[in-house]
Amino acid sequence: MDKQAYKKYCAEQLRAVFVAAKKGKTDDKLKHRSEGLLLAGELLGVIAKSEAFELIEQEHIAVFGETTAQRAERKNGLKALKAKSPDAYFDIPAIERRK
């Protein structure tokens, strides 16, 4: 397997992880397998750590429409809002909170 094929396979696995997460059906086995693929690629010198990070970000944006950092910030903001003002939190439509 060449470098491009390996990166493509990793991207497909990451996309599957993110699609499952978006549907609310996280698959820990698939997630850990994908993490292992990226780590193995780094250890074997097939992909650099920066390439793995870029791959994660690209697939995350493709599925969620935002970077991992943006999504984490938004989710933390919702968690803080829920703790501070549950009424304001529940005024946000559930479909919007779930994204």
- Write the DSSP string, 4-40: HHHHHHHHHHHHHHHHHHHTT---HHHHHHHHHHHHH
Kindly tell me if the per-residue pLDDT of 99 is higher than 80: no
Which of 11-15, 45-49, 86-90 is predicted least confidently? 86-90
pLDDT value of residue 63: 95
Amino acid at 94: A
Q: Is 23 exposed, middle or buried (CB count within 10 Å of its CB: 0-12, 13-18, 19+)? A: exposed
Reported as a single tens digit per residue, the pLDDT across 32-81 is 999 999 999 999 999 999 999 999 999 999 999 999 999 999 989 989 98
Cα–Cα distances (Å) from 37 to 15, 27, 42, 61, in that order, read 13, 16, 9, 20
Give the distance, in angstroms, between the CA of residue 8 and the centroid of all CA atoms in the same chain.
Answer: 16
pLDDT of residue 17: 96
